[in-house]
Amino acid sequence: MVTRKSGRKNLFIIDGYAILYRSHFALIRNPLITSYGLHTSALFGFSNHILKLLRDENPDYIACAFDSKEKTFRHKRYPAYKANRPEMPAELQDQLPHLWELLEAMNIPVLKKPGVEADDIIV
């Protein structure tokens, strides 16, 4: 646990998709799959990451920032921005509705804005 200066509050804003992708690919060789075929590796890793952060850091405030689907100002300045990035894997996309439910159940606000990436929200 981190020692804080007296009276100071701390805020953690997490890049949600970064943690979700990391969790997904960490377990890609041995994925967690429910009896009805839903991949849950990313949800498992994501929730463990958040729980560890809450336990170790005990933040006063926490939120998760996510990229929007819309193009950003970077695409206007550089049309090839993220042009070679593959689409989100289907098994990861299928977990998104459950991710939103998980964050709501954990009372963690979701920060999203059209045309804005999570990095821009965090800065």
CB proximity list for 56: less than 8 A, separation 6 or greater: 1, 2
Q: How far apart are CA 63 and CA 54, in angstroms?
A: 11
The structure tokens 């998104």 sit at 96
User: In this predicted model, what pLDDT tens digit does every residue of 14-60 receive, in sequence order?
Assistant: 999 999 999 999 999 999 999 999 999 999 999 999 999 999 999 99
SS3 65: strand
User: In this predicted model, what pLDDT tens digit does every residue of 47-64 receive, in sequence order?
Assistant: 999 999 999 999 999 999
Q: Hey, which residues does 15 pair with through a beta bridge? A: 65
User: In order of start, what are the domains of the chain with their CATH numbers?
Assistant: 30-122 (3.40.50.1010)
Calculate the average pLDDT of the chain: 92
User: In this predicted model, what pLDDT tens digit does every residue of 102-116 receive, in sequence order?
Assistant: 999 999 999 999 988
Q: How far apart are CA 12 and CA 1, in angstroms?
A: 14
Residue 6 has pLDDT above 80, yes or no: no
